[in-house]
Amino acid sequence: MSSRFSSTLTAQCQNCSLSALCLPIALADEDITRLDQIIERKKPLKKGEFLFRQGDAFDSVFAVRSGTIKTFNITSLGEEQITGFYCPSELLGLSGIDTNTYPISAKALETTTVCEIPFTHLEELSSQIPSLKHQLFKLMSRKISDDQQMMVLLGKKNADEKIASFLLNLSNRFKKRGYSASSFRLSMSRGEIGNYLGLAVETVSRVITRFQSNGLVHVDGKEIEILDFNEMQKLIGAPAVCDKIACI
């Protein structure tokens, strides 16, 4: 047990830079220590490696420490459908609780480290620490709200709005953990963006190119800089109106 504290993977919740965003939010110091004791740090995943596979027995949820994870499921036709991208401090795997089996696969988009949190331990601990239990409920509740926003996006929005929403969403997530909100690196490919947003690769490429020529963003491969937040926001908020303004 204590051996891991002497390894190179010893980062603890207490001194983890993500603790203000991650599961430990709103926990007392002593409670964080107890949480910390059930968490295992895994050795880094290389790009393309699986964290877990659809159908695997569910036993843990994971917090991303660095890198990015994508989750996806394989449809009956064998094609992959991406259901989410997970950045540092974000928790994944919660959808496995229901059936005791992960309903999705999770794969690293780049070199990625995660904290593994065995769920039975977490559940036990949550009985003893009410604020942890509440925190878990909140996290799952937020996931439900977020997914519903995503449903709106997929069902109602056009390609421009989808891409703008996607970029601003990433921007917010980077900002929240102290990185630049305007300039960042897309760890996923255009194909993966398209898959996630329900668009063809070509459409993603075309829209991003058009955003660039309209001065909304500056793109260089996977590097992206958002130049005009205002206009991007408008694209999301008021599509029809915005379209007209943009066309004048």
Contact residues toward DNA (CB under 7 A) are: 158-160, 189-191, 198-206, 208-209, 219, 221-222
Q: Which is nearer to DNA, 117 or 217 (CB)?
A: 217
Q: Which is nearer to DNA, 158 or 214 (CB)?
A: 158
Contacts made by residues 17-21, CB under 8 angstroms, sequence distance 24+ = 18/63, 18/65, 18/88, 18/89, 18/177, 21/89, 21/176, 21/177
Tell me the C-alpha distance between 89 and 17, whole Å: 9
CB of residue 6 vs a second copy: minimum separation in angstroms? 34
> Which of a second copy, DNA, none sits in contact with 206, Cβ below 5 to 8 A by type?
DNA
Which two tokens mark 204? 């993603």
CB of residue 206 vs DNA: minimum separation in angstroms? 5
Q: Which is nearer to a second copy, 152 or 246 (CB)?
A: 152
Q: Are 36 and 44 in contact (CB under 8 A)?
A: no
Q: Which is nearer to a second copy, 49 or 152 (CB)?
A: 152
> Which of DNA, a second copy, none sits in contact with 105, Cβ below 5 to 8 A by type?
none
The label of the residue with tokens 């398209």 reads 194
Tell me the C-alpha distance between 242 and 228, whole Å: 14
